Each structure stands twice: as structure tokens, then as C-alpha cells.
Structure 1
Amino acid sequence: MTADEQALVDAEAAFNRAMISNDPAKIRECISADWVLVTPERGPIPGAAVLDAIAGGTLVHDTMTKQSRVVRVFGTTGFVTGRGQNTGWFRGQPIGADEWITDIYRRADGRWLCELTHLTPAVTPDDKA
């Protein structure tokens, strides 16, 4: 793994820690002002809407783990794809997910900032029955 790729893996770990902190300020340190979350349920969601949901307690993350599988850097752009699981609460109801996650980053001022997160449910062949 190159130094740039390791820095990207470290940025991804910091992003995960920020998300389970449920602190919008910490999350903002890891994302760009234009960050977008793409979900299978709602499609693209502006980052501001996600942060507002977290700030208001509508969305809470208790756990978030990710196994990075593919890490690539192309100049000032990089991406991390891996399998992630998380638990928490949405509108007072417990939630949990097992997903394939791709985070696309841009290097700015020597730091990696996430520009886009794309989520896809992790479905095994047995789940398709």
C-alpha cells in the first residue's frame, strides 16, 4: 500500500469515528461542503440533510465498522470500497445495515475529504430466494 493509499484508509477510519460520535462538527471535518450520501431507499441525499438529521437526533449511529477492500488514489482523487455494518436509530426505531460502501474523496490542503458516499445492500445468493 502506498503512503497516499494509507492516508486515504486513515481518512476513512476518521470518517467512521466521526459518524459514531454523532457530532455534526466532527463529521464536517471529514467531508466536503458538497458531500452527498446515495442510499438505495432515497437515492442522493444532500449532506446538509444528513447532518441536520444527526444534529436533531433523528439519526443516531451506535456502531460502524468497515473492511476496506479496494483503495485507489489518482492524483487528488481517491476512493475506498468495502463492506460495512452499522447500527443505530432512525426516528426512534432501531436500524442496522450490512452494505457495500464506496466513498469518493478529494485531497484538499493536504487532507482527504469525502465528496460522495454510495451505499448498496450486501446481498448474498441465499438472500435472493
Structure 2
Amino acid sequence: MQTEIPAFLVDLEDAFNRAMISNDVEQISRCVTDDWILVTPEAGPIPRSRILDVIGSGLLSHATMTKVPTHACVIGDMAWVTGRGQNTGTFNRQPMQADEYITDIYRKVDGQWRCMLTHLTPVGGSNR
């Protein structure tokens, strides 16, 4: 069952995808809060500083990233969107690809929506 996804959330997700495939830490930073957490099945909760350091060092890079939102909710200055995402890239110089269910939680900060938490769940098992 799919819910209607507000257009601004689709735009936010698209901008976040573009930032991630840019592999530009500054561009990614504009999409996330200072306390953003990425939750992965492999490593659990990873703080913003760690994931941005890994991207900035070139250890992790993304070549493609897509998300198809299926559920969303907006309550005041908080919003969440869940969908299915796929991405490709490299980790530790090895090719990787992922097929995941992704939930992004957004918070409005100084008039701008920023992702404060991204939670990844593999579709059908391990990703990498």
C-alpha cells in the first residue's frame, strides 16, 4: 500500500540522492543535520562525522542512487519518508551495490528541511 508522497519530500529525496552521488562532503552536509545518524545492518548507527570522513577519504563512493518513496508523513517540523532504494559504488576499492528499504527522517532547521536519520534495511538479505 502506497501513500501520497508530498512533492517537497520527493524533491528532498532527489536532492539527497544527487548529493550522495556527487561524493562531495559539502553538498551532502547541506542535506543533513549536524546530528545526522546513518543506521546500517553492517555497522549499526554511524554518526555524521564518520560517514562524511569515509566519503571524503574516497573509501566510500557512490556512482548511482535511486529511491522510490512509498510512505510518508509530515507533522509540524518533522517528516519521514520510506521507500525502496538502490545504489552502486565502491567501498574500500571494491564494487558494491545495494537494494534496500530506506527511511529518512527530516527535521526543519532554520527554515530548511534536513535529514536527521537514515535507516537502511536490506531487501532479501545482505547488500554488500
Indicate whether the TM-score tops 0.5: yes
Match of 2:48 in 1: 47
C-alpha RMSD of the superposition = 1.5
Q: Deviations over 1:90-123 (max 9, x none)?
A: 0000000000000000012221100000000012
| SS state at 1:123 partner | coil
Runs of 4+ residues over 4 Å off in structure 1: none
**Whole-angstrom distance in 2 between the partners of 1:70 and 1:123:** 20
- TM-score, L = length of structure 2: 0.91
Which residue number corresponds to residue 99 of structure 1? 100
- Structure 1 counterpart SS, 2:87: strand
Q: Report what 1:65 is aligned to.
A: 66
Contact conserved, 1:103 with 1:118, CA < 8 A, in 2?
A: yes
Separation in 2, partners of 1:64, 1:29: 17
Tell me the number of residue pairs that the alignment of Structure 1 and Structure 2 aligns. Answer: 123
For 1:56, give the aligned amino acid.
S
Quick one: distance in 1 between partners of 2:56 and 2:34? 16
The letter of the residue matching 1:93 is Q
Query: Does the residue aligned with 1:94 lie in a helix, a strand or coil?
Result: strand
CA offset digits 1:50-85 (Å, max 9, x no partner): 100010000000000010001210100000100000
Considering only CA atoms, is the larger Rg found in Structure 1 or Structure 2?
1
Specify the code of the residue in structure 1 equivalent to 2:39.
V
State yes or no: 1:87 paired with 2:92: no
Between the aligned partners of 2:13 and 2:82, the Cα distance in structure 1 is: 10
Report percent identity of matched pairs.
Answer: 57
Higher helix share: 1
Q: Which runs of 5+ in 1 are unaligned?
A: 125-129
Aligned to 2:33: 32
Corresponding residue for residue 127 of structure 1: none
Query: 1:57, 1:123 → 2: CA distance?
Result: 28
Within 1, Cα distance between the matches of 2:26 and 2:11? 18
Partner Cα distance (1:48, 1:16) in 2: 19
The Cα offsets for residues 15-39 of structure 1, whole Å up to 9 and x where unpaired, read as 1100000000000000000000000
